[in-house]
Amino acid sequence: MTTVLVLLALVPLLPAAAALIAPPRIVQGLTVASGIVCLGLALALVPHASHGDVHIGILRTDALSTVFVLATAFVYATCGAHSIGYLRHDEKAHDFPRYARRFYLGFNLFAWSMLCAPLVDGLALLWVAVEITTVVSALLVAVENTEGATEAAWKYVLIASVGLGVALLATIFMYYAGAQELGQTYDLAFPPLLNAAPHLPHTAVRLSFVLAVLGFGTKVGLVPVHTWLPDAHAEAPTPVSAMLSGSLLAVSFYAVLRYFQVATACLGPRFPQTVLLVFGIASLLLAALYLLDQHDIKRLLAYSSVEHMGILAIGVSFGAPLASAGVLLHVLAHAAAKGNAFMGAGALVRKYRTKEIGQLRGGAELLPWSAPLFLAAILALSAMPPFGIFRSEFQIVAGGLRADRYGPAAVLVVLVTLAFMGLAVAATRIVMTPATAGSGRPDRGEPSVWMVAPVLAGVIALVVLGLHPPADLAHLLSRGAAELGGRA
Amino acid sequence: MPVPLAADSAPTTFEGATNTVAVLLLLTEFAMLRATLSRSQVRLYAVQSLLVSGLAAIVAADRELPELYALAAVSLALKVIAVPWVITRLLRDAGAEIAGSGAIGAASATLLSLALAGVGFFAVGSLDISSPYLPQAALGLSMSIVLVAFVLMIVRRDVVSQAVGFFSLENGVSLASLVVAAGMPLIIEVAFLFDLLVAVVVFGVLMRVHHHRTSSLSTASLTSLRG
């Protein structure tokens, strides 16, 4: 099994290296192949990780991190295929080879850094990996070199770097706390730190946890440090937006969860849960309000990401095993659903050449596949059965009720309903309103089969997660939930 | 094992020297806030980084931590030479001299920073965190530096000041790590510094892209994305 870990940390580097020398066609093929191989490797990890740790050198995975590896690998595979369709209409431009080289170099490195973040063993290496995701994705946001992209990339790199500066402080304080028990030369690896956690000095761990939530929370998109997120998601090329939303936010949330584990073991559950609850409710509230009146389709989806990160934070704050398992399922289902929604939005934007929701009309007539699939993705995001998010949010709310957290659970349900209204109204308008007749009206037809196939894969994954998650996966999620609650 | 610092006895030479350097670090941060030329901001950043490297060397010598010499050397090469060189070259290519004006006046910015620096210093000072390597005052000062760097990034409206603000924030974090994590394994410290270098390259690339698009280093035009 250790080979799988090493391969996961190496395979995406192959297409990244190829992007430097090979022609775009070959790089595209290699990217798709690498994505599918990574997904296969991640799936192969599932049965092993649900029984115990897999460990080699600086790489280590347990049930918790395997969930995030799985989400990232799925988004990588689908977005890699989608990118072929997305870039198709740029192929005639004279600087396309140069653009494709930059795009695929960044795209694969971005996927590589996000796969490495949950796989490395230790808070210090985790910080390094998350920092790499930031710098690579900032360049990817800017890759289209438009005015909006430049502005979004600058805001993103500045705000996220400052957030990671704060997260570095958190790492240092956690090192200080750990050094009191483990001596000066330990390297912040998880198992010893978790074992020593009950004996660590409280002040330092408390400070470290709050700084980590604030610092890594900047990358998660928790309110009030989410301000870079809508800009970057809206201005990046669509496959990159899907990766940012489906897996970068989740991977950053994984970092928060690691600090949460240590803080819970040291301070008891009350303080860490309260911190996450406050940030979660703030995120959910603000995102739900922004969703009600949004004019840009990609910003709409970006605020939906803020909403879902808020749901994750609230779910963890409930502390019930059922809710924690729901959170981990939510990570997977959100990755598939948000990836689908962005890919659908990408097809719409390519067709109409605008992101203005007011001008996107008659989707079902013009895009016979992508538009209904986009609507399905929005319904999945709004937690409609039979999709996976229905099951995960149901578990989170049920877990909250079982843990006697009636107030937060009720607030969660109300705000999610509010968000559903905003999303559903915008999406049904886009898909169902008849298209205006006129000369500017685009022709009927899909831009590319590459933009439909990955979305179909996403729908299948969502339905499987919603109706009947495989037994191995269910084991993985419940073990991950136990690890999160300090009972593994 | 180093001798724990006694708070009630007269300060030793080591304590006096390290506290002086830590205070100088905060003062350079204030000077950056006041500097009107981009070039002088970058120079001040180089001075501040030199002070951090010097402090690392002092701790290495006094507390017998030989790895810290290596850290001091790497941070000297990266933060005193490489980073200022990258930004200075960008400034020369851009032909820009004057840093962007502040969103609030210099006096208000300084007063605000003074207040924040005080809050940071006393808030962290009241925590029960002490270290065998450096006097606790340095930890409070590092928090002040981080907060003043925030002010610098918030009130200045040009890409160079904002980038220098971020780099100097990292100097504040370095100071904090010298206090509470001086014994951290060298490989981790180097990984942090290497990441900083990557961040500098990305900041440099984006600054160039920005300058190419808007022919200025001001961020005043970056207002189209909202809502």
Chain A CB contacts of B128 under 8 Å are 201, 203
For A36-65, what is the mean pLDDT?
91
Q: Mean of the per-residue pLDDT values for chain A?
A: 91
Number of CB atoms found within 10 A of residue A366's CB: 21
For A305-314, what is the mean pLDDT?
96
CA distances from A340 to A21, A83, A367, A462 (A): 31, 13, 15, 10
Helices (H), A268-320: 270-292, 297-318
CB of A370 closer than 8 Å to CB of A238: no
Nearest chain A alpha carbon to B180: A176
**pLDDT given for residue B21 in this prediction:** 92
**pLDDT given for residue B7 in this prediction:** 53
Whether residues B166 and A162 touch (CB distance < 8 A) is answered with: yes
Tokens at A292, concatenated: 């009600």
Largest CA distance in chain A: 74
Here the ipTM equals 0.91
pLDDT of B8 strictly over 70: no
SS3 of B4, please? coil
- Looking from the CA of A31 toward its CB, the CA atoms found within 13 Å total 31
Place of tokens 């998601």: A233
- Which of A324, A320, A336 is CA-nearest to residue A63? A324
For A387-395, what is the mean pLDDT?
94
**pLDDT given for residue A226 in this prediction:** 92
**pLDDT given for residue A487 in this prediction:** 59
pLDDT of A467 strictly over 90: yes
Distance of residue B175 Cα from the nearest chain A Cα, in angstroms: 10
Whether residues A234 and B225 touch (CB distance < 8 A) is answered with: yes
Least confident of A32-41, A126-135, B51-60, B195-204: B195-204
Least confident of A80-84, A322-326, A327-331, B5-9: B5-9
Query: Measured on CA atoms in the order A377, A381, A385, A388, is the torsion positive or negative?
Result: positive
Cα–Cα distance measured from residue B47 to residue B39, given in angstroms and rounded to the nearest whole number:
13
Burial of A404 (0-12, 13-18, 19+ CB in 10 A): exposed
DSSP secondary structure string for all residues of A342-382: HHHHHHHHHHHS--BGGG---HHHH-TTHHHHHHHHHHHHT
Choose between A192 and B187: higher pLDDT. Answer: A192
Cα–Cα distance measured from residue A459 to residue B200, given in angstroms and rounded to the nearest whole number:
41
Residue boundaries of the structural domains of chain A = 2-484
pLDDT of A354 strictly over 80: yes
Cα–Cα distance measured from residue B37 to residue B160, given in angstroms and rounded to the nearest whole number:
10
Cα–Cα distance measured from residue A254 to residue A243, given in angstroms and rounded to the nearest whole number:
15
pLDDT of A54 strictly over 50: yes
**pLDDT given for residue A462 in this prediction:** 94
Banded model confidence at residue B9, pLDDT cuts 50, 70, 90: low
The percentage of chain B sitting over the pLDDT mark of 70, rounded to a whole number, equals 94
**pLDDT given for residue B1 in this prediction:** 41
Q: Which of residues 152-191 of A touch B (CB under 8 A)?
A: 152-155, 157-158, 161-162, 165, 168-169, 172-173, 175-176, 179, 184-188
pLDDT of A45 strictly over 80: yes
Cα–Cα distance measured from residue B62 to residue A403, given in angstroms and rounded to the nearest whole number:
53
The percentage of chain A sitting over the pLDDT mark of 70, rounded to a whole number, equals 98
Q: Tens of pLDDT along A238-296?
A: 999 999 999 999 999 999 999 999 999 999 999 999 999 999 999 999 999 999 988 89
Nearest chain B alpha carbon to A134: B199
pLDDT of B5 strictly over 60: no
Chain B CB contacts of A208 under 8 Å are none
Place of tokens 């962290």: B124
Using the 8-state DSSP alphabet, how is residue B101 labeled?
P
CA distances from A454 to A82, A304, A340 (A): 6, 21, 8
Least confident of A430-444, B48-62, B206-220: A430-444
pLDDT of B10 strictly over 50: yes
pLDDT of A439 strictly over 70: no
B42 touches chain A (CB under 8 A): no
Q: Tens of pLDDT along B70-127?
A: 888 988 998 899 889 988 888 888 777 776 677 788 888 999 999 999 999 999 888 8
SS3 of A166, please? helix
**pLDDT given for residue A209 in this prediction:** 96
Cα–Cα distance measured from residue A416 to residue A285, given in angstroms and rounded to the nearest whole number:
9
Q: How would you write A175-244 as a 3-class SS string?
A: HHHHHHHHCCCCCCCHHHHHHHHHHCCHHHHHHHHHHHHHHHHHHHCCCCCCCHHHHHHHHCCHHHHHHH
Q: What is the CA radius of gyration of chain B?
A: 18
**pLDDT given for residue A385 in this prediction:** 87
For B46-66, what is the mean pLDDT?
90
For A91-112, what is the mean pLDDT?
91
Cα–Cα distance measured from residue A62 to residue A65, given in angstroms and rounded to the nearest whole number:
6
Q: How far is C-alpha A391 from the geometric centre of its chain's CA atoms?
A: 18
Chain B CB contacts of A116 under 8 Å are none
Banded model confidence at residue A438, pLDDT cuts 50, 70, 90: low
Q: How would you write B147-162 as a 3-class SS string?
A: HHHHHHHHHECEHHHH
Cα–Cα distance measured from residue A434 to residue A34, given in angstroms and rounded to the nearest whole number:
40
Q: Mean of the per-residue pLDDT values for chain B?
A: 85
